[in-house]
Amino acid sequence: MRLTVVGCSGSVPGPASPASCYLIEADDVDGKTWRVALDLGSGSLGALQKYCDPRELDAVAVTHLHPDHCSDLADLHVYLKYHPEGQSTVTVYAPFGASTRINQLRGTTDNSDVLHPVVWQASGEARIGPLLITCEAVRHPVPAYALRVEGPSSVRPGSTAVVTYSGDTDTCDGLEVAAAGADLFICEATYLTTYDVEPGVHMTGRDAGHTAEQAGVGRLLLTHVPPWTDCASVLEEATATFAGDVSLARPGQHIQV
Ligand SMILES: [Zn+2]
Ligand SMILES: [Zn+2]
């Protein structure tokens, strides 16, 4: 599996990055490359085109229906429907309400004929070529899921690798289940411990590190840091609670898993 960080800015797009979007690519035994976008947040469809033609996506897997994770589905609809080489379709795995949300973003009540939403069920799964994505409900003000992606390892041929993406969440059991033993844990770290915030929304760098430690992950990639938060402080907090490899996600970053 290969991961590309398409967008990693938290809550809103930032000057250096679109909002959340991670491209997962994996080859099957016949050599076909399968592509899934994890979230398609504000501004990400533009950056995604640096790495693939959006018509090559086999699926979009959406963690929740906040705009910084799904707003560019409206743009993907336009891209797929009006491309001069012909219309194409893509399956969108998302929480309940995705059809309505996509219509709101498009400013219409007519369902998209090119985006096909499939509703995540609690602890549900999606099989996309050689990839198996399972979801775990997490703790956020709207229905939200962490995604665990299993697929062929690029660094240990013949074995399975695991990438877990937290989506947006406060600390919770579902996140630890999703992240258990993951090779790569892409985890949100929106807050600093010095912030005075309500529980049940996001994690601090310290929380992300602690969750990574509890889940026994191989590598922690901190993400969803908003433009108004100091990245170095988030990294420092996570380093204090996770003994393994920890770094900040960067737009355009490629990681073989
Ligand atoms: Zn968010
Ligand atoms: Zn959110």
> What's the rounded mean pLDDT across residues 197-201?
94
In the chain, the number of structural domains is 1
Distance CA 32, CA 47 (A): 23
DSSP H or E segment with residue 236: helix 231-241
226 C-alpha vs ligand 1 centroid, how far in Å?
Answer: 9
> What's the rounded mean pLDDT across residues 72-100?
97
How many Å is the maximal CA-CA distance in the chain? Answer: 52
236 C-alpha vs ligand 2 centroid, how far in Å?
Answer: 23
The reported pLDDT for the residue numbered 122 is 73
Instruction: Return the percentage of the chain with pLDDT > 90, whole number.
Output: 98
Q: Cβ(217)–Cβ(164) under 8 Å?
A: yes
66 C-alpha vs ligand 1 centroid, how far in Å?
Answer: 7
**What DSSP assignment string belongs to 27-92?**
E-TTS-EEEEEE---TTHHHHHTTTS-GGG-SEEE-S--SHHHHTTHHHHHHHHHH-TT----EEE
233 C-alpha vs ligand 2 centroid, how far in Å?
Answer: 21
149 C-alpha vs ligand 2 centroid, how far in Å?
Answer: 20
Q: Give the CATH number, domain containing residue 178.
A: 3.60.15.10
168 C-alpha vs ligand 2 centroid, how far in Å?
Answer: 5
Domain encompassing residue 75: 2-256
- In this structure, the number of other CB atoms found within 10 A of the CB of residue 236 comes to 14
The reported pLDDT for the residue numbered 121 is 83
Confidence of residue 124 (pLDDT cuts 50, 70, 90): confident
Mean pLDDT, the chain, rounded, equals 97
- Ligand closest to CA 20: 1
> What's the rounded mean pLDDT across residues 96-111?
96
Express each pLDDT in 10-65 by its tens digit.
999 999 999 999 999 999 999 999 999 999 999 999 999 999 999 999 999 999 99
127 C-alpha vs ligand 2 centroid, how far in Å?
Answer: 25
18 C-alpha vs ligand 1 centroid, how far in Å?
Answer: 12
Distance CA 252, CA 255 (A): 10
85 C-alpha vs ligand 2 centroid, how far in Å?
Answer: 35
The answer on pLDDT for 123 being more than 90 is: no
List the shell of residues around ion ligand 1, using CB closer than 5 Å: 68, 168
Residues 6+ apart with CB under 8 A from 224: 8, 9, 10, 11, 20, 168, 188, 189, 190, 202
140 C-alpha vs ligand 2 centroid, how far in Å?
Answer: 7
Helix (H, G, I), strand (E, B) or coil at 205: helix
66 C-alpha vs ligand 2 centroid, how far in Å?
Answer: 5
Express each pLDDT in 136-191 by its tens digit.
999 999 999 999 999 999 999 999 999 999 999 999 999 999 999 999 999 999 99
